[in-house]
């Protein structure tokens, strides 16, 4: 899953929200350098990614893409799922996507949180706020625009994401879109259980090894 899904699934705890954002930027075991709820959010981010990678519906979506693009199929499904989430956002959250975009970055970019961000993560978060990135996830050209951008940043990425491959990716999107609601309902149930089982008010935060459990 990509930024919008991770932030939505982090729930109403601001520090867990921050951890959900930082999951793409912080590597390795969590050692207590950040508050427990932030580290919990990082672990939740990783658990969401692991669950998504192993879900049968996601596997089917990846197999729907052309064989020569299977290497980057995970990138495509992550981007596509965020787009389909944005298009139907009020099915999953009481706020509009515009309001969620505004409030999410107000919650993330509290001055007292700046010291918990790696430098690149803070710059990315500020750019996303200024660009209204979560809101623009619903744009009809979001998938193509995002994949072209990734192709330019990823070593060798332009061979996978270019003007010739994008129409072939587009042909698989109806199948991916049709698969999204059932998968996301499963993911929401997984996250609800994970948060309950890792409630900081009743038990210590899990270690990374426990994510496999």
* Higher per-residue pLDDT: 166 or 155: 166
The 10s digit of each residue's pLDDT in 36-64 is 999 999 999 999 999 999 999 999 999 99
The whole-number pLDDT of residue 34 equals 92
CB distance 79 to 4 below 8 Å: no
pLDDT > 50? residue 202: no
pLDDT > 80? residue 142: yes
pTM equals 0.90
The whole-number pLDDT of residue 205 equals 38
Tell me how far apart the alpha carbons of residues 114 and 109 are, in angstroms, rounded to a whole number.
7
The 10s digit of each residue's pLDDT in 62-84 is 999 999 999 999 999 999 999 99
């Amino acid at each position: 899953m990509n930024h919008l899904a991770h932030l939505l699934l982090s729930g109403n705890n601001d520090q867990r929200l921050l951890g959900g954002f930082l999951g793409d930027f912080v590597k390795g075991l969590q050692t207590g350098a950040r508050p427990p709820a932030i580290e919990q959010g990082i672990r939740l981010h990783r658990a969401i990614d692991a669950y998504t990678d192993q879900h049968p519906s996601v596997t089917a979506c990846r197999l729907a893409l052309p064989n020569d693009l299977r290497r980057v199929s995970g990138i495509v499904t992550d981007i596509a799922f965020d787009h389909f989430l944005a298009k139907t956002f009020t099915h999953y959250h009481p706020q509009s996507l515009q309001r969620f975009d505004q409030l999410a970055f107000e919650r993330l970019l509290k001055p007292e949180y700046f010291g918990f961000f790696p430098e690149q993560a803070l710059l990315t978060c500020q750019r996303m706020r200024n660009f209204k990135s979560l809101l623009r996830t619903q744009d009809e050209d979001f998938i193509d625009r995002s994949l072209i951008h990734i192709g330019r940043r990823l070593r060798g990425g332009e061979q996978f994401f270019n003007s010739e491959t994008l129409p072939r990716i587009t042909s698989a999107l109806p199948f991916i879109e049709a698969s999204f609601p059932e998968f996301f309902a499963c993911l929401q149930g997984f996250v609800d259980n994970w948060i309950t089982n890792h409630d900081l008010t009743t038990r210590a935060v899990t270690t990374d090894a426990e994510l496999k459990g």
